[in-house]
Amino acid sequence: MQYLTLPFPPHAYTILGLGAIAFFFLHGATRGIFKELFSITGLIASYPLAKPFGWALTPLLSLERIPTIFHKTFIMALGGIVAYGTLWVLFLFLTRLLKLERRRYGWDKFIVASSGCLVGGVFGTLIVFVGSWFILLLSSILSVIPASAAEKEGSIFLLPTAIIRAHGDAFRTSALGTFAQKTNPLLHTFDVGISLATQISTNPKAMQTLMAYPPVADIIDEPVVRNLIANPDIQAMAKEGNMIGIMNHPSVQEMLNDPEVQKKLQEIDPSALKALLEKK
């Protein structure tokens, strides 16, 4: 399984993304407008339904092994998948009931197929971007969490995590990864926030370097960040190298969710911050 964790050249990720979108164009033309519309409607509707479905499933889940900071995301993702599956079954029933799968000819066939092609392409593009945002987000989280012994040993259960950890940086430098970052400002805020939280909590010596960068200095002056720096639990976990504990700590989550901090994080250039932290 080691070949799955070998990074590709950056352009390969872009080619794979474009190939996926082309597949959805072709798939839409084959399925027709009605099935594609049902798919997109299901995707859109599953978003507001994700929360009620997710929390309904919560009593059946064992979340002890998942860091607290990921609980809400995991529950929402699972709820969305279940909601989409439920809607898919409903739409399949409607398709059969209304006989929308009947054989078509001439202009009727052309209109249904071409409309399905267009809708399928839009749907595929959305899927590729959502997948790209997810990979970038999870890659940022994994960058500050050391790989577990089971992951290093190649546990099949942790293979998806190992794959994202291995491909994250290379994907981020690809044209698709770069465009995905620019189209989702939340990724920018999260990346910078994770970097700052990690540096502040695990490397006190970096404070002097960070203070030399005005946008960061403004953030460090925020009360929520001051509380993070002075928190004895954070300091103790930093000495132990307990990154999962740090990311789970309420002080870190409070900092990442603070409106003023989020606003100021938008003003920070990630490349400038990285260069500053790597400067000898």
CA distances (Å), 216 to each of 114, 192, 259, in order? 51, 10, 15
The pLDDT-based confidence of 20 (bands split at 50, 70, 90) is: very high
| Cα angle 240-195-75, degrees, rounded to a multiple of 5 | 85
Is the distance from CB of 24 to CB of 120 less than 8 angstroms? yes
Query: What pLDDT, on the 0 to 100 scale, is given for residue 112?
Result: 86
pLDDT digits (tens, 9 = 90+) for 104-123: 767 888 888 899 899 889 88
Q: Is the pLDDT of residue 195 over 70?
A: no
List phi, psi (to 5°) of 64: -60, -35
Determine what percent of the chain is predicted with pLDDT higher than 90: 11
What value does the mean pLDDT take over residues 220-225?
81
Those residues with Cβ within 8 angstroms of residue 211's Cβ, 6 or more apart along the chain or in another chain: 217, 220
Give the residue with greater pLDDT, 157 vs 105: 105
- Distance CA(250)–CA(136), nearest Å, equals 23
Query: What pLDDT, on the 0 to 100 scale, is given for residue 11?
Result: 93
The pLDDT-based confidence of 218 (bands split at 50, 70, 90) is: confident
Give the DSSP letter string of 211-232: HTSHHHHHHHTSHHHHHHHH-H
Give the residue with greater pLDDT, 58 vs 159: 58
Query: What pLDDT, on the 0 to 100 scale, is given for residue 252?
Result: 78
pLDDT digits (tens, 9 = 90+) for 54-88: 888 888 887 776 667 677 778 888 888 899 889 98
